[in-house]
Chains A and B, each alone.
Chain A
Amino acid sequence: SYEVTQPLSVSVALGQTASIICGGNNIAIKNVHWYQQKPGLAPVLVIYRRTYRPAGIPERFSGSNSGNTATLTINGAQAGDEADYYCQVWDINTGAVFGGGTTLTVL
């Protein structure tokens, strides 16, 4: 079955750039999606199909894929961006596969 891995935590200074990675075998060929989840709330889609932003998601959120790594980048991180972030792919054998989640701290 396909697996994706994420670091447990990432810290970023206010206003700086945060990068959250998602590792998987040849993940570059997969559609990777990213979700933001704040405490007590349902996840919110922030990036889909590697690079697309849903309506209402700020432009400072962007995504990229290369080789065995997908990356969610947050330019000019704000205090309100503190949350857990999950990557997700679809595997034909396994179904939806989520990473373990990364907690973003804005210092």
Chain B
Amino acid sequence: QVQLQQSGPGLVRPSQTLSLTCAISGDSVSNTSVGWNWIRQSPSGGLEWLGRTTYGSKWYHNYAESVKSRLTINPDTSKNRFSLLLNSVVPEDTAVYFCARDVGGYYYFDSWGQGSLVAVSS
């Protein structure tokens, strides 16, 4: 059974970088059949997909247009985890952030992290 455990600070200052990590157990970040995603949920409630990384002879990344210029998702094979780095944050980046695994080819999210509330505030 796949488990995803998130960690990272709950408060980030405006213009700084938001950093979260998702540790994987029960699967491998290098599994070529799945993708590893970050999704956020704003205080208003909607879910917003941010980006994905997957391995297939090399690492592939997809990012949502809304954050593409500010977002990096890094896999870490040595620790079997992946991370989110969102730079130049603004208060509108305040949200609950989730990591999630998708089943490659069909792109549904069958395993989720517990969620991390991150506030952007001075």
Which A residues are within 8 Å of any B CB, using their own CB? 1, 31, 33, 35, 41-45, 48-49, 54, 84, 86, 88, 90, 94-98, 100-101
Q: Are B47 and A86 closer than 8 Å at their CB atoms?
A: yes
Which one of B45, B109, B112 contacts A88 once the chains associate, using CB atoms below 8 Å? B109
User: B89 at interface (Cβ–Cβ under 8 A)?
Assistant: no
Which residues of B sit under 8 angstroms from A45, Cβ to Cβ?
Answer: 108-110
- A97 with B49: in contact, given A42-B98, A42-B114 (CB under 8 Å)? yes
Bound together, the chains give a CA A101 to CA B98 distance in angstroms of 17
Q: Are A101 and B106 closer than 8 Å at their CB atoms?
A: no
Q: Are A95 and B47 closer than 8 Å at their CB atoms?
A: no
- A95 with B52: in contact, given A84-B45, A101-B45, A101-B47 (CB under 8 Å)? yes
Bound together, the chains give a CA A54 to CA B102 distance in angstroms of 14
How many chain-B residues does the 8 Å CB contact rule pick out? Answer: 25
Offer 22 A-B interface pairs, CB within 8 angstroms, sorted by A: A31-B108, A33-B108, A33-B109, A35-B109, A42-B98, A43-B98, A44-B112, A45-B109, A45-B110, A48-B106, A49-B106, A49-B108, A84-B45, A94-B64, A94-B65, A95-B49, A95-B64, A96-B37, A96-B52, A96-B102, A98-B46, A98-B49
Bound together, the chains give a CA A41 to CA B115 distance in angstroms of 8
Q: Are B108 and A88 closer than 8 Å at their CB atoms?
A: yes
